[in-house]
Structure 1
Amino acid sequence: MTVLDQWIQWVPALSPGLGVSLSLTGLCLLFGMPFGLLLALAIESKAGPLRIAALALVEVGRGAPALVLLYLLYFGLPESGITLPAFTTAVISLSWTTGAYSSELFRSGLAAVPQGQREAALTSGLRGWTGFRYIVLPQAIRISTPPLASLAVTIFQTSSLAFVIAVPELMSKAYALGSITFEYLSIFCLTSVLYGSITLIALAFVRLGERRLNRYL
């Protein structure tokens, strides 16, 4: 049996794990990106306690490796009487990582909005939150979209760390299949191809989105 034949035979066994990896990534982006925007707005606010709390969440989320956050929530919370399912723990911890990194991208987008746009909002009578919501924020999000899309690809790759807390994602399925067949090299090569294929497809959409956005910037 050739390697290609083996891969074709193993793909159905790995597909459920790939589905879990994609679901985990989707939920992390769904919760993490809005969380990152809220953190960015909190850091830019004038309320001292709110800004300090947001900075602390960002620094921990960026400074601690995603693997450490997984262990912290999965093994640490039960000592406080809180026990979460492995998948839920992975979603929370990776959403924290996503929010921490995306907050910096949102802040960069906010800083990149020309001052003239803010002044134009004021002269148009759009002051305070109204001007920010309708003039500044949409431009900041548009500027931040390409790096945020690249971050989404990174989070998909990082989702493989959920294997260490027994989430049945792609790496977990690959390891389980390897323990049965003992064809670890071939199985992990196939796993790399699956990760790489999804990554290349996602990056192609990112590049396409960047080109389209550049037409309007």
Structure 2
Amino acid sequence: MFPSYEEIASWMPDLLGGLSISLQVTVLSLLFGIPFGLLLALGVLARNKALRAISLILVEVGRGAPALVLLQFIYFGLPGVGLTIESFAAAVIALAWNTGAYTSEIIRASLQSIAHGQREAAEALGLGRIDELRFVLMPQGLRVALPALLGFSILIFQGTSLCFTIALPELVSRAYEIGSTTFRYFPALLCAGALYACISIPAALLVEHVEKRASLYAQR
């Protein structure tokens, strides 16, 4: 039997509290992960072999290992070497690493997509490598990368659902708690899915709008 509206309404404070934690993890993961991705992208493009090798290792591990494995490694694995991290921080670190690894490839591809003539123009103006990156490559590259970065942000938000495995009281974890006390797992998880959709669908429409604007800009 499906629960009444009153019963579902009584679940909302817990579910919205879990959604708040999911959004906090998402924002912090992106806040740290995207700049980390930029650094990794620059490291992969660097001329220094050691820096390039370290950057490639971090990228390949972050992309090759599933987010769930990174979460388990940081939360359950690091205490084995004497480093204990609470669940919220572990979730942010793991998802920021995952974000950095994937967005580094997005940013690197965007930087490399800039016409070679732009680089030649920067050299003709006497710009150094840092100024060329700052004033010529970065503004254009990040504009190209923006739609893909926004799309990946939605995936990270949805990926926070994995954090219930490390005892973080996010949205899915709260839904499971409700299910365990009421034995109504299906409606509780359905409500959680509806809350994810309330965030993901408008965000996806925003990404589509940004992609269209970027496409129009590129055709000018």
Deviation, 1:9, is 3.3
- Computed over aligned residues only, the root mean square deviation of the Cα atoms, in angstroms, reads 1.4
Name structure 2 gaps, 5 residues minimum: none
Aligned to 2:183: 182
TM-score (norm 2): 0.94
Aligned to 1:164: 165
Whether 1:214 aligns to 2:215 is: yes
TM-score (norm 1): 0.96
Name structure 1 gaps, 5 residues minimum: none
Whether 1:12 aligns to 2:21 is: no
Kindly report which structure 2 residues correspond to 1:1-217, keeping only aligned pairs within 5 A, or say none.
3=3, 5=5, 6-217=7-218
Cα distance in 1 between the residues matched to 2:89 and 2:11:
28
Cα distance in 2 between the residues matched to 1:16 and 1:98:
24
Deviation, 1:213, is 2.6
**Which is further off, 130-139 or 34-43?**
130-139
Cα distance in 1 between the residues matched to 2:131 and 2:122:
9
**Which is further off, 74-83 or 203-212?**
203-212
State the percentage of identical aligned residues.
Answer: 47
CA shift digits 1:84-128 (9 cap, x unpaired): 111001100110000000000001101111111111212222232
Name the aligned partner's letter for residue 80 of structure 1: V
Deviation, 1:3, is 4.9
Name the aligned partner's letter for residue 143 of structure 2: R
Count of matched residue positions in the alignment of Structure 1 and Structure 2 = 217
CA shift digits 1:134-158 (9 cap, x unpaired): 0011111110111111100000000
SS of aligned partner of 1:216: helix
Contact 2:2–2:187 under 8 Å retained in 1: no
